Every structure is written in C-alpha cells, then in structure tokens.
Amino acid sequence: MFVKKNLFTLAICFFIPLFCWSQTESTDSIKSLSEVIVKAYEQNRSLIDVAAPVSVTSQAQLNRFGNMSILPALNITPGVSMEERSPGSYRLNIRGSSLRSPFGVRDVKIYLNEIPLTDPSGNTYLNQLSFYNFNSIEIIKGPASSLYGAGIGGAMLIHTLPANWHPGVSLDYTAGGFNTNSINANIKTGNADHENSFNYSHQTSDGYRQQAAMRRDIATWESSLRINKKQTLHAYMSYSDLYYQTPGGLTLAQYNADPKQARPGSGSQPGAVQNKAAIYQKIFLAGFSNEYEFNDHWHNTTSLYGSYTDFTNPGIRVYEFRKEPHFGGRSVFEYKKQLGNTGLQLNFGTEAQKGFFNTRDYGNKLGVADSLQSDDNLNIWQYMFFAQADLKLSHGWTVTGGVSLNKSSIQLIHLTSRPSITQARVFKNKLPPHIAVLKKINKNVSVYASVARGFSPPTVSEVLRSDGKFGTNLQPEDGIDYEAGIKGTILNNKLYFDISGFFFDLNNTIVQRIDTNGVYYYVNAGSTKQNGIETYAAYQLVDAPQHFVNSAKVWGSYAWHDFHYGDFKQVSTDFSKNKLPGAAPNVIVAGLDVTSKAGCYLNVTYNYTDKIALNDANSAYASSYNLLGAKLGYKKDFNRKISAEIFAGADNIFDTKYSLGNDINAAVGRYYNAAPARNYYAGISFNFNNK
C-alpha cells in the first residue's frame, strides 16, 4: 500500500511539469538550482543542460545541519545514503553500491578538486576530510565509467574553494550530545589572482555506544595562483590524524537488550572492548593541478598527487597494520569549435595510479599485537584512457557519447612463506560506452535519456581476504544502465524539479560473506536487477527581501528502489529473486527552510526509511524508521566585514530506536549497529572578511 500511494504521488509530480512548462515565464526572483554550473562529465554546464542523473549539494544544504558531518546533507539526494556506523566510520551507498562496501567507501570514484581521492586499491578514505573541507559536492548516480573509470555506484566530485574569494578569518565551535565537540579555524589570504587558504579542524566524541569514541585532527593548505590569462595553478596539501573505536555489530537479541553495548565476547573470542577494537589512521596528501588555455579552442587540465596512509586496526579477530603509499595523476584535453549551428566539444585524456602497499596481520591478544599471521606486499597499478564528444545541435538538442579503456593489476607477494609466493590478477574491461541525448523543451525545462555501461574490478580489500588468503576466482562486475529524466523550473522559477527513472542490470555482482570465525571474504553473486525512480522538488513559498519573513522554501525527495537478485545460487542455496540486502525500497526526505530579515532562520528535516533486508536469504530485516530534526539560528552582520552566527538544534526528535550502517550478511546475525537516540547541539561562528 505504501508503494502504491507513493507511486501515485510520484506520477502526479511527474505530470504536473508536463502540463505547466508551456506557461512558464522566467523571473529573476530566485536563483534556481538549474542555473548552478557543474563540472560533471567535464561539461561545465548548468545542471539543466547535463544529460545525466547529477545532483549538487551546495554550501546552503551543508549548513542546514549541525556543521559536524556532511552525512545529513548528502542524504537529501534521492538514491544516496551515507551511513555512520560509529563516529568517524562512514559508508556511502549510491543505488545499492554498499552491497560490497561493508567498511569505508568503495564502488564510487571520488575526486577532490581535480585530484583522485580514491586510491589505486579502489578504497576511499572519505573520513580524512572534515565538514569544513567541503564547499560543494556533485554526485553522478549510476555508471560513470566512460570518464571516471571503475565504479558501478557512480562518481563524487568534491570542490573545496568558494566561487567568490575574500581574504579573512573564521572561527567555528559546535558542541553536541555524547560529549561531541568540533572546533574549526580558517585563514584566507591573497586576492582573486593568488588565493591561499589554511584550515584546521579538531573534533572529538564519546559516541552513543560503548567503544565508540572518536578524535580527528585535520590540517589543510590550498593555494590558487593565476599566472596569466591562460594559466592557473592550484595546490592542495593535507594531513589528517584520525582515531575512532569500532563497537562492532550486535545480534537482534543483543540489540533489543541494550543497543548501546559494544559487541560482546563469544566463547574464547573476546569482544570489542576487551580487544580494544579501533582504527588509527594517518594520511598525508599533496597534489597540484594546472589549467592551461592554449587558445580559444584548446584547454588542458593536468593534476598530479602523492599520498601516504598509515593504518592500524586492532580488530575483533586480528591486529592489522597497513602502509599505503601511492601516487597518480589525471590529464584532460578539451577542444571546442562552433560548426555553423552546431557546437562541438571533445574531451579526451588519461588517468593512472600506482600503489606500493604492505599489509601485516597479527593475532589480537586483548588489544596487543600477538603472533604474526601474514605479511604481504601489494603492488597495484591501474590506468585508463577516455574520450567524449558533445554535439550541441539546433532546436535544443544535445548528443553526448563517451568511452574508456581501463586496465588494472594486483600483484601479491606473501612474505611469510618460505620461499615467498607471488600471485597476480589482471583485470581488463570491455569498453564501457556512455550515450546520452538531451532536449530543451524551453529555456527552463529539459528531458534526457541515456545508456551507460559500467564495470568495477574487485578492490584489493575484496581480493585479499581478511585471513590473508588471495581470492583467485573473483571477477569484475559488469552492468548496463538505461536512464530517462526530466528536470527544470516552472511556475515563474518558483518550483524546481528533477525526476529520473532507471533500469540497471548487473552481472557478477560482488557481495560480502563473513564466516563463523569472523573472516571477511567476497563472492560473485550471479546477477542483480536494480530498477528505480528518484525525484526531488523544491518550491519557493516566499521570496520577498523587504518582508519580515524574506524567504521560505519547502522541498522533498523520494526514492523508490526495486533491487533484487536475478540468478544467484550459493552451493545448494538459491537466493534468486530475493531483495538486495542493504537497500531500502522507499526513502522520503523532506524539509522546510525559513529565513527572516532580522537574521533568524529555521531548518526542519524529516526522513522516512523503509525496512532493509540484512542478508541474502531475506530472513532478517532492519525495521523502518521516522526521523525529525530541526535547527534554529541567528545571523548578524555587524558591518561589511564582520559577521557572526549562533545556532542550536536537535536530531532524532522522535527518539526513534533504529540501526544505521548495518553489517550485511554477517555471521550469526550480528547485523545491527544502533544509531544515536535523541540528541542536541549548539554552535557559534565568527567571520571577518576583507571584502
């Protein structure tokens, strides 16, 4: 019944724009979301002109919440679910991609400005960034392999510097429940031709659960230097020091008895507290990019980076040490030419990454590294070549076509064997094309259709089992996505909408298994069928700068996902047609944003998430939940240079008991990670800008 009702609502949302666009008259009363310029697919166009399911998380969306995490802002986007299993432990799910991402972020390619943030192993340490390192975020949902390489889930483009530059100083402090504290200091120097930004963030929390404390320190420096009219250099350097405890998953009985407890011991195996389960993670990243405009037709952007990760994990079963130095780069050439009434844009280039990793596993004896179990060197190499052509035709038509050639290899050297044993895997993909057609119905509304093929080879963490064994049979995922959508503004630019539907067939789906000894490994799960409809709409109720309530907006997003296995058998067990674990069939997020001329503002957010299957057999589910949050604040501009803000808010106002970041297919039913109960926060910000 829920699905039928919401499909009816969705149908109404879809057809209203069809009836209304012919009467649309543009006005400058508000700056619509469709006018935002995005870099997705190297097109640098307004959102309405991109023939793909691309969403933008702006600075305004990020600031709607408690200024301590990007998680609630990203979850506004339909089809995107960011989860925090415990403070500092993130997982990103785009259209079911977390099926193979029990920890961290996989199957989504992430870039920081022009620098690949995803390392050559396929893993992304998104937690090496603080809330204040994000200025805006673009998310491409679904396969984006034609331009961004491996990643069935899609791609994320993170932009760190503001569009309008002003030197100055800002200080921010936020305190919240569970003894959570966040401090940020930022200094900007220079001018529009030579920008420098120094940022330091410090965040701590005791966490909601036992064994869930976190501390994070992040220092960054960015510089943008305009050498002349043709060339701009951008440099980025960061150091992050993160420590967070890992409480572990609970069985349903343990979750119901005390959701705040850490995973208890079992038999002779100590629990999370006894083994001091935690992550110690230090990352140094340095990179630069160069933009050069040769002439009116040719342009190039080239980035190079180097990174080093020191990762220590006393876990429930093993005590792991990882050293992960790697480097890489990306270069994109752009050619533009007007051919009569046709605009031609060509993009082509290459991306390559090389890693020299070492992983050592010891036994964990009450939080102390015991006897050596494995010592492995990993040499990782991956590269791709890509090309894309865009034709902007007359009568509002745009045609896009792209393709890439990818190769990756993993060489594993077992140093504990005598003599050492070397094993290797090489993955070559079939050419993943991307073809899209967009039609502008009028100035403010467009429709599009696309077909994209995606691939994703196993990551190092999937090939190398947690017991040190090398998975020799794991194959790359390969899928094809059919998409159609409509987006734009109507009703005098007061209503923005973005609606898309997709059919995605995936073969050789990679899923996680956990045996009774706690060993993590992965298998190919036959095929999956992932179909869905995703919609977002925002309506400007009030846009009157001189009135007491000078702005009021309501918005909502809805995702309906029908994700299930196709043919999937494990030995004698048949999971075919079962629901895909980890993905909610229905998710609704809605909100109200109100500001006043006096400087007061209110943000209210509601979230409904449907029940989620927790294993392939569909024998266990995480219950559905309703969440309500609110933030009330006051901004004051003392003069053109000095401003301040004070705010307070509450999360989970209904005090809902729910599990977030569930452990999919966990042994003996340890699926559940309790999310925080009702909690509050308050903060203050001070800004001095030399405008």
Task: Please tell me the distance from the alpha carbon of residue 538 to that of residue 556, in angstroms, as a whole number.
Answer: 7
Spatial CA neighbour of 603 closest among 644, 559, 649, 655:
649
Q: Check pLDDT > 60 for residue 659.
A: yes
Q: Is the pLDDT of residue 549 over 60?
A: yes
SS3 content of the chain, % helix, strand, coil (to 5): 10, 55, 35
Amino acid at 61: Q
Structure confidence by residue, pLDDT tens digits, 519-541: 677 888 778 899 999 999 999 99
Task: For Cα atoms 682, 684, 686, give the angle at the middle one, nearest 5 degrees.
Answer: 170
Domain that holds residue 641: 2-689
* Rounded distance between C-alpha atoms, residue 236 and residue 289, angstroms: 9
Does residue 361 register a pLDDT over 80?
yes
| Residue 35 pLDDT level (bands cut at 50, 70, 90) | confident
Tokens 């990679």, located at residue: 510
Sort residue 599 into left (φ over 0), alpha (ψ -120 to 50) or beta. Answer: left
H-run or E-run covering 573: strand 573-574
Task: Indicate if the pLDDT at residue 27 is higher than 90.
Answer: no
| pLDDT score at 268 | 81
Report the greatest alpha carbon distance in the chain: 79
User: Would the pLDDT of 21 be above 50?
Assistant: no
pLDDT for 17 beyond 60: no
Q: Which tokens go with 573? A: 């067990």
Mean pLDDT over 446-457 rounds to 91
Q: In 51-190, which ranges are continuous DSSP H helix?
A: 59-62, 71-74, 145-148
Q: What does the alpha-carbon distance between residue 241 and residue 220 come to, in Å, rounded to a whole number?
A: 12
Contact in structure between 670 and 662 (CB atoms under 8 Å) = no
Residue 59 CA from chain centroid, whole number: 16
Residue type, 320: E
- Average pLDDT (242-270) is 93
CA distances from residue 18 to 41, 176, 342, 490 in whole angstroms, order as listed: 27, 45, 27, 10
Q: Are 183 and 175 in contact (CB under 8 A)?
A: no
Containing 490, the helix (H) or strand (E) segment is strand 477-490
pLDDT tens, position by position, 169-186: 999 999 999 999 999 999
Q: In sequence order, what are the residues at sequence separation of 6 or more whose Cβ sits closer than 8 angstroms to the Cβ of residue 59?
A: 135, 136, 162
Q: How far is CA 630 from CA 33, 48, 72, 550, 594, in A?
A: 23, 30, 12, 19, 12
pTM assigned to the model: 0.91
CA 61 to chain centroid, in Å, comes to 15
Banded model confidence at residue 1, pLDDT cuts 50, 70, 90: very low
> Averaged over 143-158, what is the pLDDT?
88
Report the number of distinct structural domains present in the chain. Answer: 1
pLDDT at residue 465, rounded to an integer: 67
Helix (H, G, I), strand (E, B) or coil at 30: coil
Per-residue pLDDT, 299: 96
CATH code assigned at 577: 2.40.170.20
Distance in angstroms (rounded) separating the CA atoms of residues 675 and 72: 13
Structure-token pair, residue 572: 């004698």
pLDDT band (50, 70, 90) for residue 387: very high
Residue 670 CA to its chain's centroid (Å): 25
Contacts 24+ apart (CB under 8 A), 11-15: 13/497, 13/499, 13/535, 13/537, 14/486, 14/499, 14/535
Return the number of other C-beta atoms located less than 10 Å from residue 312's C-beta. 16
Residue pair 604/565 in contact (Cβ under 8 Å)? The answer is: no
Paired tokens of 169 = 């100083």
Residue-wise DSSP of 364-404: EETTEEEEEEEEEEEEEEEEEEEEEEEEE-GGGEEEEEEEE
d(CA 168, CA 517): 55
